[in-house]
Structure 1
């Protein structure tokens, strides 16, 4: 059974969310602060994390950073903050999605299931011996889930890895924003469109020699993005 870690210092919200997820056949473990969240994460190895931003002892952003040092588990940030900068920060530190409170449980459940479906797909692909892709100095191995740039291994969470893989599969072709959202986030994605831009920015910071002047992962104005096959 799929295990979800719910982290929130508001007991009513935490318990209600845990109850609803349990009713939808998920195993739920909880934590009320950042330190406890990391301890529970390490002991329970959950399949997905629902992580509040404002937490005692250790903030949600710090928890996310710590998890991302060793794990690509899907993370959805939950926050009462609705500004664009807060969403961008949440995504830039490694979160896969960001939901603003108050939210509908139906919307949250849809995003949880979408992320878990993507994780299962990657797990299935990992059991198949797929050939590594090489474009310029970037090498992506779908089987081992490893990316190297100029021979150096670059850690990547699930969303970034999938996005880079999709772009490299279509090297030299323009991929529209709609095509990318449908493939990586699922058709009918209802989250913030800035999510894609932030993930592109993170990818550039990892694979481009000069991220502010991209030569591999380029923007095609008015359409989308293209991975340039040098």
Structure 2
């Protein structure tokens, strides 16, 4: 069985702090890794995908602000800043480079645990929303649910073959982008070196016909770009037949 526990990286040059945080967080069933300086912390954070990084501000080699700044250029890993400095300027610096939360030493370990849980809950909710949005395309006259492969046109279900569905989803996933027939054969049909270009035209024709049975507007969202190929419009093209 896969281990679905959350992994947390503690970056702090004080061993006492790392040991204290490890003890409390491991009690909550988190997997803990440690780094004793900013460079080591940055290297680990870039190499692994941590669910949360507890990052001290004052660190040897690279300070926490620089670590967060460089990390944000590559990843969106949640960051909680830990520091002995409580001045507003330091808090603003932390948030400006992408910190998600900020706590001042000396802190209560129980408060850390509660804040960690809150950040992880929030980021998990955001991830679930992103996944849901990625799987669902909702437009004024058309809805495509990629989890169930259901297509709804103006409130009525459209029955498509698997390849017709693949073609529609591929086009609708990149609205307003023009796709040549060769590209569609390569990406949808996986034909690398051969394939009849009329295959694309035939499937587009059938797709429009099936959409037209349920909606007047939906089939006109697949637009022919003469001499180039096809594109999908978020709204029906005014002159597409």
Structure with more relative contact order (C-alpha pairs < 8 Å, separation 6 or more): 1
- In structure 2, runs of 5+ residues without a counterpart are 140-241
Pair 6,131 (structure 1): closer, same or farther in 2 beyond 3 Å: same
Q: List per-residue Cα deviations over 1:51-82 (Å, max 9, x = no partner).
A: 00000000010000011112111100000001
Counterpart secondary structure, 2:61: coil
1:49 corresponds to: 53
Contact 2:84 2:104 in 1 (8 A): yes
Looking at structure 2, the residues matched to 132 and 82 of structure 1 have their Cα atoms a distance apart, in angstroms, of 46
Q: What RMSD over aligned residues (CA atoms) do the two structures have, in Å? A: 1.6
Shift of 1:126: 1.9
Counterpart selection for 1:25 from 29, 52, 70:
29
> Which structure's CA Rg is the greater one?
2
Contact 2:46 2:71 in 1 (8 A): no
Query: What are the within-5 Å matches in structure 2 for residues 135-150 of structure 1?
Result: none
TM-score by length of structure 2 reads 0.53
The range that moved more, 24-33 or 40-49, is: 40-49
Distance 1:43 1:90 in 2: 22
| Structure 1 gap ranges (5+) | 134-230
Task: State yes or no: 1:73 paired with 2:77.
Answer: yes
What is the distance in 2 between the residues matched to 1:106 and 1:132? 43
Q: Map 1:115-134 to 2 at 5 A.
A: 115-129=119-133
1:164-175 matches, cutoff 5 A: none
SS at match of 1:73: coil
| 1:110 CA displacement | 1.2
TM, length-normalised to structure 1: 0.55
- Give the deviation of 1:132 after TM superposition: 8.4
